[in-house]
Amino acid sequence: MKQRKIIGLIILVASALLYGCSKSDDGVSPTDPIDPPTDPTIPASGEYCKYMPDEVVLSCSETLYQLYVESNISPEKFNISIEAEGEQWCQAAIAKDQNAENSLVIKITSDTYNREDGLGQPLYEPYRTATLHVTYGSVVDKRIKVVQESHVMLLTELDYTSASVLRVSPKGETTEVKVLTNCYSWMCGTNDDWITVTKKDDATFVVTSTARPEGQTEMRQAEITVMSNKIIDGLMPTMVKIQVVDSDAGVSGEDYGYDDNVTEWD
């Protein structure tokens, strides 16, 4: 009986030693397979397609837009189509990028959209849109909005009322300015530090001016730029310049009775 107990103890100790030698400090056996690091954007199949944007914007005269995406999938495996609302003016195809490995190019072609009236004057029509649908099995299912501008018209209400000059109170105020445009998107801004300019919505921006420093009698001036987001055929975007002045030079901010002189825009 005593001999059996000794043999059992030896087996127990040997098992413990073997277990301790077969595991590393973190509890992983050296013989266990170690999973390689994975890219969460690449599915288990190893095929991938990255960096497709949500939208692209074409100018009115642009007839070819080349969209480059990173992918190791053969072009012929993709299904690419233009959904019904844009198929009359927009087409798309996908091909291998000959200048880069693991790169594809989606070529979006369109008719021009720079129509004119009977007198040769541009028609400022609304921009038009199409939806590009790219699929491949369970790996890719992407819709891309394609926008094409018409001749761009970009004005503000000040162009009709005060020769593009906005007069604000020396005491500081907040003013909304309406934008009249047919372009898909626009931006606004200023480099002057006594006013801030913020886009409120697709038809409005807000100008906020600070009070003129006490004792300063010199009228301040600033400039606001409103411009389309799209660079057309490598040229400068369509833009409007607005001059801002705090009226009634010769009085300080504290002495200014602005209630009767603030310009309001509907």
Q: Whose CA is closest to 170, among 83, 119, 97, 245? A: 245
CA 220 to the chain's CA centroid = 34
Helix (H, G, I), strand (E, B) or coil at 264: coil
Report CA-CA distances (Å) from 110 to 58, 74, 82, 149, 154: 9, 25, 11, 12, 24
- Please check whether residue 244 is in contact with residue 194, taking contact to mean a CB–CB distance below 8 angstroms: no
| Residue 160: predicted pLDDT | 82
| Residue 260: predicted pLDDT | 42
- Please check whether residue 125 is in contact with residue 151, taking contact to mean a CB–CB distance below 8 angstroms: yes
Per-residue tokens: 19: 């277990």
- Please check whether residue 49 is in contact with residue 69, taking contact to mean a CB–CB distance below 8 angstroms: yes
Taking 60 as the threshold, does the pLDDT of residue 30 lie above it?
no
Distance CA 239, CA 252 (A): 34
Taking 50 as the threshold, does the pLDDT of residue 221 lie above it?
yes
- Whole-prediction pTM: 0.69
CATH architecture of 154-259: Sandwich (2.60)
Residue-wise pLDDT for 72-89, tens only, equals 999 999 999 998 888 899
Residue-wise pLDDT for 175-200, tens only, equals 999 999 999 999 999 999 999 999 99
Taking 70 as the threshold, does the pLDDT of residue 48 lie above it?
yes
| Residue 249: predicted pLDDT | 47
| Residue 256: predicted pLDDT | 46
Distance CA 115, CA 110 (A): 14
Which sequence spans correspond to the domains of the chain? 49-148, 154-259
Taking the CA atoms of 176, 180, 185 and 188 in sequence, report the sign of the dihedral they define.
negative
Find residue 172's DSSP bridge partners: none
Taking 50 as the threshold, does the pLDDT of residue 223 lie above it?
yes
pLDDT above 90 covers a percentage of the chain that reads 54
Same CATH fold assignment for domains 49-148 and 154-259? yes
Residue-wise pLDDT for 156-167, tens only, equals 999 887 678 999
Q: Specify the fold of 49-148.
A: Immunoglobulin-like (2.60.40)
